[in-house]
Amino acid sequence: MATSVPVIDGAFAGRTPNSANVRRVAAAATGAGSRIANAMRGMVARAWGGGGKAVTTTRPRNQYMRDGSAGYLSSWNPALRDMPDEVRAVWTRAAARSIDALHNSGWLSGGIDQASADTIGNGLRLNATPDIDVLGWTDEYRAEWSSRVERRFRAWGNDPLECDARGRRTIAELTDAAIRQHFAFGEATALLPQIIRSVSRTKTKVLMVSPHRLSQETNEQARLAQGVFIDGNGLPISYRFRRRINGMELDLDIMARSADGRPQVIHVFDGTPDQVRGISPLAPILKVVRQHDQLTDATLTSALIQTIVTATVTSPELSDEVFEGLADSKEGELPEEIEGYLSAKADWWSGRSLDLGIHGKVAHLFPGEKYDIKSPATPGDNYLPFVRNLLREIARCIGVTYESLTGDYEGATYSSVRMATAAIWAITMRRRQRIAVPFLNPIYRTWLDEEIRSGAIEFPGGYEAFKRNRVAATQCEWQGPAKPTADDLKTAKASTERLSSCVTSLTHECAEIGLDIETVMRDRAREKHLAEKLGLGDPHAARQPTGAFADNPDGTLKEAA
């Protein structure tokens, strides 16, 4: 809306504004005080801003974040800081609260179990894919070399004495621990020491370290940010861990990579590109978890109190004490009529009782009295909708479906479950690629480095050639559990339809269900060879039902006529 400011005095019309004129007008108002003078000075300046003409000012109405009469936005003024500073300010509190919530919330603990199971299942499977164009290999040699590497890595990773520095967990279990560290701390940390043991063939080991052992010290002059030494571009150079040695807390700096480029520290987190440390993904729902706990505790307490059976007898008459309270203090006595009524009532209840434990008993009350049993009013009708909404927010933040978090499939249909699974699967795959795979890649590369250096695995050109082509030689993929389905038969039919329509490949369809196409082909060839050796037919040949049954057009079986 446009507003016009007129010229203050016609005596100044057409004149060129100058400081003398402004001072003259302002001086005329000095008797009214400096505040009026300042206001007059501003009005004159605005009036002459257009060369003596009226100046029109417009207030925009289509601006961003225009506040309303309630002032919600005007009272919302968060500070804008760099993400590393945001993380450093709340890292310890967020981690402590997240761990406490995981220890004391069954919903949250079960949700993390589900998220880990969806992400890695029983463990991710290595699929070595070295770049044959860079290495100059043939497809046949690559397949043979990859197959050997995968078998040896699987054997190493399934033996805790070989892969775990503590000798307790397999690679799959260590990966699960990394996922749980990610939810609790926002990051996963581990060391890759070289340990010689008489019970182990290899030296490469994985030593899981709690992220709270990574120092929170920051020194910008030394380029130390929350325990991580970085170069000018933000590349981690070394890490400062606080280790307990002989009962003493000591700071130990460990290089991120060895002299020959082998990884020595694993530090995985998800965040913005300028972050140095991660933040727990549970931070946005810590308040919601507390609200859910308080709501359930208050509801349970109220329900327990109200569940105690309460029986009341309502009488239209007053009790003895009330009659005495209404009596005139000067008289000191109750009227004879009231005393007679109370005496009759006392005689009536003398030797009588209301026993709630006797079934089928009919209680006779004094005339005018009413017997009533109070029923609990908690939880109310709005309890379940509200608590379900809190659980939906928790499930959404964790990255699982509401049904998988709560086990509540009431009202769910095949279409709704399938849609929810499809929507959350992308988040599961993102978690796998951002947390699990970056955790496993350094382990595989360090292990392969030792295997080739020791000669256990042959590499064309030897170890020096491997070091020159480390990136190309260590290319790999990690395959996890298949995408969950609400109906396996419908999913299988859809896969068959895609293959028959030539819109997909066996490689893609195998990957969808967590399988490696080369492994599948080898298994099928071996099974076919064994079947032929035993005089059996091809075990993988498609067959139609024979005998007394045949196919219906809808795919079901019917008895032949």
What is the pLDDT, as a whole number, of residue 62?
Answer: 66
The strand ranges marked E within 299-380 are 310-314, 370-374
pLDDT of residue 2: 46
Burial of 480 (0-12, 13-18, 19+ CB in 10 A): buried
pLDDT at 469: 94
CA atoms of 40 and 32, how far apart (whole Å): 11
- Of 50 and 434, the structure prediction assigns the larger pLDDT to 434
Residue scoring higher pLDDT (18 or 116):
116
CA distance 184 to 322: 62
Which pLDDT does position 301 carry in this prediction?
83
What pLDDT is recorded for position 50? 47
Interaxial angle between packed helices 139-157 and 437-454, expressed in degrees from 0 to 180 and rounded to the nearest 10: 100
Summarised one tens digit per residue, pLDDT across range 165-189 is: 999 999 999 999 999 999 999 999 9
pTM of the model: 0.72
pLDDT of residue 110: 93
Q: Give the three-class secondary structure for 95.
A: helix
Q: Phi and psi (nearest 5°) for 247?
A: 80, 5
* Whole-number pLDDT of residue 557: 45
Question: According to the model, what pLDDT value does residue 304 have?
Answer: 78
- Round to whole Å and give the CA distance between 553 and 543: 16
Q: Could you write out the three-class secondary structure of 245-308?
A: ECCEEEEEEEECECCCCCECEEEEECCCCCCCCCCCCCHHHHHHHHHHHHHHHHHHHHHHHHHC
pLDDT of residue 12: 42
Peptide bond into 438 cis (omega under 30): no
Q: What is the pLDDT of residue 514?
A: 73
Buried b (16+ CB within 10 A) or exposed e, 33-57: eeeebeebeebbeebbeeeeeebee
Give the pLDDT of residue 233: 92
Tokens, residue 234: 């933000």
Check residue 4 and give its pLDDT.
43
CA-closest candidate to residue 225, choices 156, 302, 182, 277: 277
Give the integer Cα–Cα distance in Å for 495 and 489: 10
Pairwise CA distance, residues 199 & 182, whole Å: 32
For the cut 60, the answer to whether the pLDDT of residue 518 exceeds it is: yes
C-alpha to C-alpha distance for 478 and 525, rounded to whole angstroms: 24
Q: Residue 129 to residues 143, 478, 517, 530: CA-CA distances in angstroms?
A: 9, 10, 13, 29
pLDDT in tens, 524-555: 888 888 888 888 877 777 555 444 444 455 54
User: What is the reported pLDDT for 5?
Assistant: 42
Q: Which two tokens stand for residue 13?
A: 């019309």
Question: C-alpha distances in angstroms, 549 versus 22, 145, 188, 544, 546?
Answer: 107, 48, 57, 10, 6
**pLDDT for residue 204 is more than 50:** yes
State pLDDT tens for residues 402-446.
Answer: 888 888 888 888 788 888 888 899 999 999 999 999 999 999 999
pLDDT on residue 213: 94
Share of the chain above pLDDT 70, in %: 72
Computed over every residue of the chain, the mean pLDDT equals: 80
Is residue 462 scored above 90 in pLDDT?
A: yes
pLDDT at 364: 55
**Residues 157-164, mean pLDDT to the nearest whole number:** 96
Highest mean pLDDT among 46-50, 136-140, 264-268, 311-315: 264-268
- Lowest mean pLDDT across 13-17, 278-282, 353-357: 13-17
Window from 104-108, 209-213, 326-330, 343-347 with minimum mean pLDDT:
326-330
How large is the average pLDDT for residues 385-396? 90
Please compute the mean of the pLDDT values over residues 460-470 and round it to a whole number: 93
At 248 the pLDDT is 86
Amino acid 416: pLDDT: 84
Specify the pLDDT at position 317. 54
| Dihedral of the alpha carbons of 405, 410, 415, 421, in degrees to the nearest 10 | 0
Alpha carbon 43 to its chain centroid, in Å, reads 57
Q: What helix, strand, coil percent values describe the chain, rounded to 5?
A: 50, 15, 40
- Give residue 343's pLDDT: 76
Q: Which of 48-57, 65-74, 206-215, 226-235 has the lowest mean pLDDT?
A: 48-57
Say how far apart CA 147 and CA 154 lie, in whole Å.
Answer: 11
Better-predicted residue by pLDDT, 451 or 381? 451
- The residue type found at 67 is D
Poorest-pLDDT segment among 24-28, 147-151, 460-464 = 24-28
Q: How many CB atoms lie within 10 A of CB 61?
A: 7
